[in-house]
Amino acid sequence: MKKGQLLNSRISAVISEMGHTDTIVIADAGLPIPASAERIDLALTTGVPDFITTLLNVLSELQVEKITVAEEIIKANHTVWDMITAVVKKTAKTQGKPVETAMVSHERFKEMTKNAKAVIRTGECTPYANIILHSGVVF
């Protein structure tokens, strides 16, 4: 059995296959998932699993150099935005490297998901609880 925090085999496999600047998306239950991206559907019911728990687990295995979020999150979902900010700050400290934050319109965000290796759908049902994680390198 795998030893570590992240037990989902498909997410672990996608992370292991990622190269520098490849992207993976963690999405709320409503984000449209493009046919070009692998869908990893974790949603069980409203709020399960939640966005932040999923983000924390993915970050336990993925080296991240940049995140992209929809700029609308600041006004529409300040609670999740504050949690993302705290998690990213902790991740940068743990990695020993900065994590850049980019903000784009929600429409641009949805376009960017077409280039993702995978989209992880959570049960999160709050607005704009979506993030694109851009893979970094460990050296």
Q: Rounded to the nearest 5°, which phi and psi values hold at 30?
A: -100, -10
Query: What's the confidence (pLDDT) of residue 110?
Result: 98
* 20 tagged catalytic: yes
Asked whether residue 12 is assigned to any structural domain, the reply reads no
Residue 58 sits in a domain whose CATH number is: 3.40.1650.10
Q: Is residue 128 a known part of a binding site? A: yes
- The strand ranges marked E within 8-137 are 23-27, 38-41, 64-70, 100-104, 118-121, 131-135
Q: How far apart (Å, rounded) are the C-alpha atoms in residues 87 and 131?
A: 12
- The strand ranges marked E within the chain are 23-27, 38-41, 64-70, 100-104, 118-121, 131-135
Q: Is residue 130 a known part of a binding site? A: yes
Asked whether residue 70 is assigned to any structural domain, the reply reads yes
Instruction: Give the number of domains in the chain.
Output: 1
Asked whether residue 8 is assigned to any structural domain, the reply reads no
Query: What's the confidence (pLDDT) of residue 1?
Result: 66
Asked whether residue 15 is assigned to any structural domain, the reply reads no
Query: What's the confidence (pLDDT) of residue 4?
Result: 79
Q: Is residue 22 a known part of a binding site? A: no
User: Containing domain of residue 48, as a range?
Assistant: 20-135
Which one of the listed residues 20, 39, 75, 78 is annotated catalytic?
20
Spell out the per-residue pLDDT of the chain, length 139, in tens: 676 789 999 999 999 999 999 999 999 999 999 999 999 999 999 999 999 999 999 999 999 999 999 999 999 999 999 999 999 999 999 999 999 999 999 999 999 999 999 999 999 999 999 999 999 999 9
**Amino acid residing at 1:** M
Contacts for 72 with CB less than 8 Å, ≥ 6 apart: 105, 106, 127, 128
Measure Cα distances from 73 to 16, 47, 111, 119 in Å.
Answer: 29, 17, 17, 18
Asked whether residue 129 is assigned to any structural domain, the reply reads yes
Q: How far apart (Å, rounded) are the C-alpha atoms in residues 112 and 23?
A: 9
Asked whether residue 2 is assigned to any structural domain, the reply reads no
